[in-house]
Amino acid sequence: MKHQPFESWLFQETELEADQLQELEEHIAECESCYMMATSRDAVDEILRKPEMVGPVPGFSQRWLERQQVRQRFTYTRQTSIAMGLLAVVTAVFFGFLLFEVAQLVASSQALVIETLRHMLEWIQWLSRLSEFVGGFVKVVVETVPTSWWAGLGFCLVGVGAVWMASVYVFRPKYLRKGV
């Protein structure tokens, strides 16, 4: 018996024409092999249409959460260890370069050390003169500007601060807002 068109018709997704459907039913009634295939296909289709929902094993959620926490701790520990290791390496390299520079400075002539100290003293003198200038300027400004102006400046600064705080409150990120 020829099974080819009937086997492909059995598993065809589209609807068969009326004459093809009649031929298929007649063939299934006569052929045991095709009858078994058709009933098997119908049983599989029924199982696939109505799958049985299986719930998780008791305690699954708790075990999953515990494993997730262990993974997070492991990841945190690993990341911290890597960061600390990199920091130690960078620190060691930095101090190595610093030690090399200090060794070169000590090994160099006294003239270099004296020149460096002279430059440092010049900087200190310059900062001292700057301090005298700024101090004198502040003294003159405080003596010449009326007290009412200082009060007005203070109120303006308080107002600017209040506006700034209000803008920070209004434009804060969503995750900082209550109820979001």
Q: Tell me the C-alpha distance between 147 and 42, whole Å.
A: 98
pLDDT digits (tens, 9 = 90+) for 109-161: 667 778 888 999 999 999 999 888 888 888 888 888 888 888 999 999 999 99
- One-character DSSP codes across 61-89: HHHHHHHHHHHHHHHHHHHHHHHHHHHHH
Contact (Cβ atoms closer than 8 angstroms) between residue 10 and residue 39: no
In angstroms, the CA 91 to CA 98 distance is 10
Q: Where are the domains of the chain?
A: 4-49, 69-107, 112-144, 145-180
Quick: pLDDT tens for 79-101: 999 999 999 999 999 999 888 88
Polymer length of the chain: 180
Give pTM, 2 decimals: 0.32
Amino acid, res. 162: A
Burial class (CB in 10 A: 0-12, 13-18, 19+), 27: buried
Instruction: State mean pLDDT over 155-180.
Output: 85
Tokens of 46: 């029924």
